[in-house]
Structure 1
Amino acid sequence: MKRFLMIAIGVSVLIFIGLYLYFVEGIYVAFLSEGEITTPFYTADQQFFARDKEGDKAFEIKGVELDSSYGPHRGTDFPIEEEKWQDWFDMINDMGANTIRVSTVMNATFYNALYDYNEARDNPLYLIQGIRVSYDEVNGDENSERMRFYSLLKEDARDVIDIIHGRNLIFTNDQRGSGFYRFDVSPYVIGYLIGDEWNQDMISYLDHTLNEDDTRFNGDYIQTVPEATSFEKLMAALVDDMLRYESNKYRTQRPIAVNSTFVMDPFEYPSHIKQQIGKINHFTMDHLLSTDEHLSGLFASYSYEEWPEEALQFIETDSSRVTIHDYLRELNDAHDMPVIMSSFGYPSETYINQDYNQGDQLIEGLTMFQESGFNGTIIRSFQDVWDRRNLTTAFMYDLQSIHEFSDVLTPNQHYGLIGYRPYREDVLMTMDGDEIDWEDVEMVSETNNNTIKVTRDHGYLYILVNSDAIQLNAPLYFGFDLHPGLGTTSINQIDATLTEPIEFFLGILPGQGGVMRVIENYQASRQQFLERVNGVNPYVELPKAPLGFERFKVAERNPKITEENATSYTYPYTFKDVYPLVLNGEGAETDIYLGEDQVELRIPYGLLNMYDPLKPTVHDDYYTHYGVEPVPIDGFHLSMMTSNGVTTDSVWVPLDPLSGDVAVEEVVKPSYERVKSYWGGEDE
């Protein structure tokens, strides 16, 4: 018996070691891998081709990007279950898309769902698998291939290859997915996409500081042209390693690209243009050449970004006016391989400062890329992503909790074709004059003439007032006092004086909407961007007394370029008034319902300078602290004023903390149906 136990334990240990080496370490013996190299997808003649039983067919990519986040759950927690993935795959397929893109390693649940979904269908969804760069590991070294970020990128690339072939086990994976990857989804993988938005300083360091004497690379599968840069040489080595690894281990290859952006395009610009658009690097996939061993081919990939008209004029010097259409055609013609737009999108109307219709913009873009000769386009993204940040608003919030609430001031949170509405308990708040969603909310004030209720969820602060002083077609005003030490009792816009100081003043104006104003020394974007807007340091030129109210503003990039030899400087940012809240609109995007004797409104937390709405905390005084410092609050004072001079006494409204976990309802945006119609998706 003892001998039997020893043998059993020994066999178990050997099995465990074998499984560990096979799935975790990815050990393989090259000479045991026999047979011809297969290419389920390949590129030729500036096109993608897919192989199937009926032969090779040209393949145009119609795709959407999927993120691992879901509503208030951050992407790195990988909260989405297999059933939800498959529901989304159905919606994507019904929309007429044939491809999904993920920008990094997902958890095993995603690949399991994709495998099960595709195995049960005749028209599968294909995958472009991204490989994300670890910028936290960027460090200098005299040899680019010894740089830490490159070593990790190489490891991640091999992990990705094993994952899509169903041969990997990852216990923990910082910022990336993990799990037991046991399903082979490789028949559905079009290719690999390295990188997303590259760190331009890092590339410049490689190309200019290292200044390697020999930037040529001669691999088994990839070589470089003599004029290749150090970064292009490094990417050639990575692509060569990926091709070797997948060829030797799995006897297959698939197309690979290094993602790029317009700021890395292969074109030349005058120095004054380059300085202002931040163009310090060039990259082109055409500097990577295939050897006879490379059968699957390469492709070029770009993420879309707004490009100044002044820069476009230098693409075709013989043309009087060059448009973005001309630029895209030139960009496509600059490559001898297929080119795709791997990421492009626009915010929907849930973003407060949206100028155009999301559906119109997407259709215009899809048409433009196709007419420019691109071999496919990927929309960013299928779902809204609450934990995305933007340079112009990130300073306003606690970035550790930004994923827990929706922010209407951050445009790239609203790129999805579907969005989310957070529940308050089990209620969805709608500004429609129907008080059914207020039944469980207690009054904060009740008099003979009016009643006030206030509640909130993970997106907005809600207020309901019933008062005989409210008139349907007359202006109405609200004052908010959130900071315990700031504010004024005088309102210059309506010549009124309040009992409590306020920092925010909302005017509900028929025909305009809800215009939010803020006291001058509590304008968040001023202290952060004033010097980048007009050259004035906000701590040198302080807001002057008496302090009044001004429109709430956000900063945005200034698209204008200073002309060569100009005597004035064009600053990189401008201030823009936040658009009015929607008054008596239609559907879920209505912010204010104004009726006779009643008003119902919702205020985005960003318009009240809330740093973390859930705790809650607000911004402290910018001019006694440097930058944004949070200060906790347990409530605020609320005042209401009418156009005929009726002013309510200031009401204290307590604010309790909110839980970080909240249910959401998915909302299919009109842009989904627009894209579905354009791509010829299935009717319901």
Structure 2
Amino acid sequence: MKRNIKLRLSLAIIAVLIAGYFGWQLFQPLHAESEFVENAKLDNGMNVKFRTQGDQLEIYSDQQWQPFFAKGVNVGATLPGHDPGELPIDKKTFLRWFAEIKELGANVIRVYTIHDPVFYEALVEFNEENRDSPLYFIQGVWSPEAQMFKTHDALSPLATKEFKKEIIYAVGAVYGDVKITKERGKADGKYKANAGPYLLGWSVGTEWDPPLVEATDKAYEGMEPYQGDFFKAKSGATPFENMLAEMLDTLAAFESKQGWQHPYAFTNWVSTDPLEHPGEIDRAEDLVSVDPMHIEPVNWQAGYYASYHAYPYYPEFFRSDETIKNVKNDKGEIDTYKAYLRLLKEHHKGIPIVITEFGVPASLGIGHITGLGRNQGGHTEEEQGKINVDLLHEIVQENYAGAIVFMWQDEWFKRTWNTQDFEQPVDRRKYWLNVLTNEKLFGLTGMYSSKDGPLLIDGSLDDWHQLKDKKKFDPGVPGWSSMWVTHDEAYVYIAGELENEFDPEKETLHIGADTLEGGNRHSKELGDRTLSEGLETLVTIGKTLDSQVTIASNYDFTTRYWGVVNGMAPVVEEEMNDDSGIFKPWKLIVDMEFSPPAAKYYRPYKDVPAGQLKRGTTDPASTDYNSLTMWQAKGNVVEMRIPWMLLGFSDPSSLLAMDYGEKGGKLQTRKVDGIRLVPWITDRSTGQIKGLGDGGDVVDVSKLPKYKWKPWNQVQYQERLKKSYAIMQEAFRKIGGDN
């Protein structure tokens, strides 16, 4: 009875959707197949370009079915300064990107959701100009997360209705057969371009939240398997899997009206995979499974495949599970990622698996650590490319059907768990680039801040002379001739002209930053001087291990939030006093303290350094280019760029710095009027300080000028291909699948 009611409700919902969202369009003649695309015809008259065959994908080309390995990139929906729901990318940009993606050696792109009509128009136009080697795409359908979490039930009428609505719209968008009304945060407009002939397949849904899956399964325990006209759930399928079978069946019902069939999958990830992970510490990460093998096509000859997001650093079992430390890679190293790929492949016998997300970011900040250095962040662009190629190689070796790297472009709006509490307000993340937030920097195409390129960190002042918005200060301290300062969306840039050549083996350069009332007025770095105003952070330039940004101990974000507020990080009471005299290394948490029952066993708190300043050059034309370069010195010139967050800023675009107080379990912010920079030089052999008056003096720094800037609500940025692009290009071109 319960199932019959649900079926009737589903049919009623579909009927309403047909009438309300497509209207008369669904009863028009089917789209004619493209004259530029060769495809097979099924006995029922359906067009098919791609199909699954065993555990592989196939393409119809040269009047026969041929193996096809899907190699490509995920393409996001946004640009710096915008949220993804704004969909700011224009046709010209898409066309340029498609050419660069094709030149990369990719044969497919994947999009997560419905784009504006210009995306499909650009793709059709590009492919019609590249008929011999078009760029195919996988269309995603975004799941109704808001409705699912509101009801905590993925099978609620509210959630399933919204999911089906999105599916119907997606079909119309792909085939150029719908007009979508404006809705905040979503694509809209009249879709006329038929991109269906260039579709490789569908991937429905997003990464599933384990507690949501568990709640849904418990609420509908005993539910009969879904039986559709095109897809069905097998005996033993969970209620959540039944929901997915119903969504795939809905998709097939509407796509068949367009005269096409394509391979189908639902999006999945390691946290809800069907495998058991005995070494996973977090019970939530091995709580439930969503198993593609519990769903099968009934009358869908294009077939069905599995789609997984799989990274080498998350969840934790990739570094802790002894049961997967039994496989070696080509270099003879124990490789848990390769072991995982092998186990996942064994489970999905008879269907293809495409790893639809993999990769590492080229960022200063690190979010998770794992073996073989494949951490979530902390990589140069070259390291990013090499690690991505290693992962790609293993996916190919384990006989997967495709590998789609995450991702094409950097995304400034993104957040990461270990910096998100320091980026306030959250709706302004898109206006600045926090290089400590690794999620922003996965792209093969870099979206650099506006001066990253025009202003090179190379020890020369030539490019500084071209800047119109720089400010020149007289530091007023011995050893310094002048100081120039400017900024952009990611960094504060400082150039110092010294009286003598700078030798980091003999001396250390310090620049203290005063943004708020409080901070350290004395410290070992200041010798026996005391400042009239305290310093929140301290930039040190010298030998390799010395070059870093440190932070006043009672201002230290990580200790305050994860120690004082959350009780995980060690807290030394004396260090929490104002003017403690202690500058601590800037660090980011990578492991929260975790205890049973939420954890299978105890795990201590762990953090890693985040304030290191690497010496090098940011000139991409130089063989010495390093994307993580923060300083360089030549002769008497020292140049540096300091990430905003290392200087204490939670949102430089609105002049907000992190304050000293906490309230309601959150760190507080305060608007500031600039940064007072206090420079001095220390002789390494004698400890003698050049500048800041005589020993024992109270140094009045209040008269030093502050560097000030205006808030901004629009961004400028530099787009260029990262060094990882060329490395991936070489690897992609060695892989077949260019039909």
**CA shift for structure 1 position 349:** 5.3
Equivalent residue, structure 2, for 1:334: 347
Distance 1:44 1:212 in 2: 34
Instruction: Give the counterpart letter for 1:462 in structure 2.
Output: Y
**CA shift for structure 1 position 294:** 1.7
Moved more, 640-649 or 104-113: 640-649
**CA shift for structure 1 position 555:** 1.1
Normalised by the length of structure 1, the TM-score is 0.88
Contact persistence 2:30–2:259 (CA under 8 A) = no
Q: 1:143 to 1:380 in 2, by over 3 A?
A: closer
Distance 1:280 1:459 in 2: 39
- Is residue 2:680 matched to residue 1:680? no
- SS for the counterpart of 1:629 is strand
- Is residue 2:119 matched to residue 1:128? no
Distance 2:607 2:126 in 1: 47
- Is residue 2:546 matched to residue 1:489? no
Q: 1:304 to 1:560 in 2, by over 3 A?
A: farther
Q: 1:594 to 1:539 in 2, by over 3 A?
A: closer
Distance 2:663 2:247 in 1: 50
**CA shift for structure 1 position 53:** 4.7
Q: 1:275 to 1:564 in 2, by over 3 A?
A: closer
Of the candidates 445, 457, 464, which is equivalent to residue 474 of structure 2? Answer: 445
- The Cα offsets for residues 488-527 of structure 1, whole Å up to 9 and x where unpaired, read as 2112245253342101011112233631110111111223
Equivalent residue, structure 1, for 2:15: none
Equivalent residue, structure 1, for 2:3: none
Instruction: Give the counterpart letter for 2:641 in structure 1.
Output: R
**CA shift for structure 1 position 628:** 2.3
Contact persistence 2:510–2:680 (CA under 8 A) = yes
Contact persistence 2:111–2:139 (CA under 8 A) = yes
Distance 1:254 1:127 in 2: 11
Contact persistence 2:284–2:598 (CA under 8 A) = no
Equivalent residue, structure 2, for 1:54: 63
Contact persistence 1:451–1:465 (CA under 8 A) = yes
Equivalent residue, structure 1, for 2:162: 152
- Is residue 2:494 matched to residue 1:477? no
**CA shift for structure 1 position 351:** 5.2
- Is residue 2:306 matched to residue 1:300? yes
Of the candidates 652, 664, 675, which is equivalent to residue 717 of structure 2? Answer: 664
**CA shift for structure 1 position 355:** 4.7
Distance 1:476 1:141 in 2: 57
Distance 1:663 1:636 in 2: 22
Contact persistence 1:225–1:289 (CA under 8 A) = yes
Distance 2:83 2:493 in 1: 25
Distance 1:317 1:45 in 2: 27
Equivalent residue, structure 1, for 2:294: 287
- SS for the counterpart of 1:294 is coil
Q: 1:565 to 1:41 in 2, by over 3 A?
A: closer
Of the candidates 476, 497, 505, which is equivalent to residue 466 of structure 1? Answer: 497
Distance 1:144 1:419 in 2: 36
What RMSD, in angstroms, separates the aligned Cα atoms of the two structures? 3.3
Equivalent residue, structure 2, for 1:552: 586
- Is residue 2:378 matched to residue 1:354? yes
Equivalent residue, structure 2, for 1:259: 267
Equivalent residue, structure 2, for 1:88: 97
Moved more, 21-30 or 175-184: 21-30
Distance 1:348 1:318 in 2: 27
- SS for the counterpart of 1:91 is helix
Distance 1:445 1:49 in 2: 68
Instruction: Give the counterpart letter for 1:263 in structure 2.
Output: S
Q: 1:147 to 1:576 in 2, by over 3 A?
A: farther
Instruction: Give the counterpart letter for 1:226 in structure 2.
Output: S
**CA shift for structure 1 position 422:** 2.8
Instruction: Give the counterpart letter for 2:108 in structure 1.
Output: T
Contact persistence 2:273–2:290 (CA under 8 A) = yes
- The Cα offsets for residues 402-440 of structure 1, whole Å up to 9 and x where unpaired, read as 11111110111111111123335x982212232233233
Equivalent residue, structure 1, for 2:338: 325
Q: 1:612 to 1:349 in 2, by over 3 A?
A: closer
Distance 2:519 2:204 in 1: 50
**CA shift for structure 1 position 617:** 0.9
Distance 1:559 1:267 in 2: 25
Distance 2:30 2:727 in 1: 51
Of the candidates 406, 419, 426, which is equivalent to residue 433 of structure 2? Answer: 406
Distance 1:61 1:297 in 2: 15
Distance 1:148 1:269 in 2: 34
Equivalent residue, structure 2, for 1:11: none
**CA shift for structure 1 position 563:** 13
Equivalent residue, structure 2, for 1:647: 691
- SS for the counterpart of 2:690 is coil
Distance 2:570 2:612 in 1: 29
Equivalent residue, structure 1, for 2:87: 78
Distance 2:429 2:359 in 1: 21
Normalised by the length of structure 2, the TM-score is 0.82
Q: 1:63 to 1:245 in 2, by over 3 A?
A: same
Structure 1, unaligned runs of 5 or more: 1-19
Equivalent residue, structure 1, for 2:38: none
Distance 2:406 2:152 in 1: 37
Instruction: Give the counterpart letter for 1:598 in structure 2.
Output: V
**CA shift for structure 1 position 342:** 0.4
Moved more, 334-343 or 531-540: 531-540
- SS for the counterpart of 1:479 is strand
Contact persistence 1:312–1:327 (CA under 8 A) = no
Equivalent residue, structure 2, for 1:16: none
Q: 1:322 to 1:657 in 2, by over 3 A?
A: closer
Distance 1:71 1:262 in 2: 29
**CA shift for structure 1 position 49:** 1.3
Q: 1:559 to 1:29 in 2, by over 3 A?
A: farther
Contact persistence 1:386–1:406 (CA under 8 A) = yes
Of the candidates 137, 144, 149, which is equivalent to residue 147 of structure 2? Answer: 137
- Is residue 2:411 matched to residue 1:382? no
Contact persistence 1:351–1:414 (CA under 8 A) = no
Equivalent residue, structure 2, for 1:415: 442
- The Cα offsets for residues 555-576 of structure 1, whole Å up to 9 and x where unpaired, read as 113699999999x8213x5211
Equivalent residue, structure 2, for 1:43: 52
- SS for the counterpart of 1:71 is coil
Of the candidates 158, 161, 169, which is equivalent to residue 171 of structure 2? Answer: 161
**CA shift for structure 1 position 626:** 4.1
Equivalent residue, structure 2, for 1:9: none
Distance 1:30 1:585 in 2: 60
- The Cα offsets for residues 117-149 of structure 1, whole Å up to 9 and x where unpaired, read as 001112110000111122222257698543422
Of the candidates 456, 464, 468, which is equivalent to residue 487 of structure 2? Answer: 456
**CA shift for structure 1 position 543:** 2.2
Equivalent residue, structure 2, for 1:619: 658
Of the candidates 275, 278, 294, which is equivalent to residue 285 of structure 2? Answer: 278
Q: 1:187 to 1:318 in 2, by over 3 A?
A: closer
Instruction: Give the counterpart letter for 1:295 in structure 2.
Output: Q
Distance 1:301 1:25 in 2: 32
Contact persistence 2:593–2:603 (CA under 8 A) = no
Q: 1:514 to 1:444 in 2, by over 3 A?
A: same
- Is residue 2:234 matched to residue 1:207? no
Equivalent residue, structure 2, for 1:609: 648
Of the candidates 357, 380, 390, which is equivalent to residue 343 of structure 1? Answer: 357
Distance 2:587 2:192 in 1: 51
Distance 1:480 1:316 in 2: 46
Equivalent residue, structure 2, for 1:28: 26
Equivalent residue, structure 1, for 2:619: 587
Contact persistence 2:562–2:568 (CA under 8 A) = no
Equivalent residue, structure 1, for 2:117: 108
Distance 1:312 1:62 in 2: 29
Q: 1:516 to 1:86 in 2, by over 3 A?
A: same
- Is residue 2:393 matched to residue 1:367? yes
Instruction: Give the counterpart letter for 2:354 in structure 1.
Output: I
Equivalent residue, structure 2, for 1:4: none
**CA shift for structure 1 position 324:** 2.6
Counting matched residue pairs gives: 655
Equivalent residue, structure 2, for 1:528: 561
- The Cα offsets for residues 627-681 of structure 1, whole Å up to 9 and x where unpaired, read as 1222111112111111131125732214222432233221211110011111228
Of the candidates 252, 257, 260, which is equivalent to residue 243 of structure 1? Answer: 252
**CA shift for structure 1 position 359:** 1.2
Contact persistence 1:396–1:609 (CA under 8 A) = no
Q: 1:32 to 1:627 in 2, by over 3 A?
A: closer
